[in-house]
A and B are shown apart, each in its own frame.
Chain A
């Protein structure tokens, strides 16, 4: 079964950096796009970033563009989120999530979306 396990969360000062990781198993990681989604305390879900199955294209929410970088290592079945210049408003639980569209070497079958979710890792930005 699909498993997504995030790690790397913690407390960081404003302006600091943190790198989140997501270990994936139970599916062919290199055939699916992946997302990061966050949820501030007591708030709704906010999409953060998406990376295509082969890392060829990356998309970001305006709120994190230029500060966060999504990447993946298909040889290690691992997704990453490098977060720089962190602000108090970045405080949230960060979820790793799988895209449902299967991708072959030539095309992806269906538009992006989110099916499976990890359990989340908490990032707190505070002095």
Chain B
């Protein structure tokens, strides 16, 4: 059971916009930055979003992050076949003194 809650799966067709939610609590998302990672099959996770809504250089602006209260979401617009991957949210938890992850969302591009 993960501390952060994500839907196990999401899907969309090419060109569509999809969103992935991440729900936490006041000790993690509510008081710290949210990070999003993309993990393609057989590879290490890659940073997509940091500090709730900031994109590292090289990440397309099709990817965007937002946070409100104890929840966050990742939006992917103009969906492409290469976006098919697992997506994870994470945040520091002040009560646990630990990084906590969501269980991951498998995105399928139909």
User: How many residues in B have their beta carbons less than 8 Å from beta carbons of A?
Assistant: 26
Given contacts A45-B88, A111-B32, whether A116 and B104 have CB atoms under 8 Å apart is no
Please name all residues of chain A whose beta carbon is closer than 8 Å to the beta carbon of B88 when the two chains form the complex. 44-45
B98 touches A59 (CB 8 A): yes
**How far, in angstroms, from A120 to B97 measured CA to CA in the complex?**
24
A100-B50 in contact (CB<8A): yes
Does A118 sit at the interface, judged by CB under 8 A? Answer: yes
Which residues of chain B from 66 to 110 have any CB-CB distance to chain A below 8 Å in the complex?
A: 86, 88, 90-92, 94, 97-104
A47 contacts the other chain (CB 8 A): yes
Q: Is A119 among interface residues, defined by CB-CB distance under 8 A?
A: yes
- Please classify the interface of chain A as helix (H, G, I), strand (E, B), loop, or mixed, using the class held by over half of its residues: loop
Count of chain A residues with a beta carbon within 8 Å of a chain B beta carbon: 22
Q: Are B33 and A113 in contact (CB under 8 A)?
A: yes
Tell me if B99 and A50 are in contact (CB < 8 A).
yes
Assembled-state Cα–Cα distance A118/B100 (Å): 19
Give complex CA distance A78, B47 in Å.
22
> Is B46 at the interface (CB under 8 A from chain A)?
yes
Q: Mark B5-46, 1 if CB is under 8 A from A, else 0.
A: 000000000000000000000000000110101000000111
Smallest CB-CB separation from A45: which chain B residue? Answer: B101
Known contacts A45-B101, A46-B101; decide if A116 and B33 are in contact (CB<8 Å): no
B45 and A95 contact, CB distance less than 8 A: yes
- Distance between B5 CB and nearest chain A CB, rounded to angstroms: 12
Instruction: Kindly report which residue of chain A lies nearest to residue B33, judged by CB atoms.
Output: A113
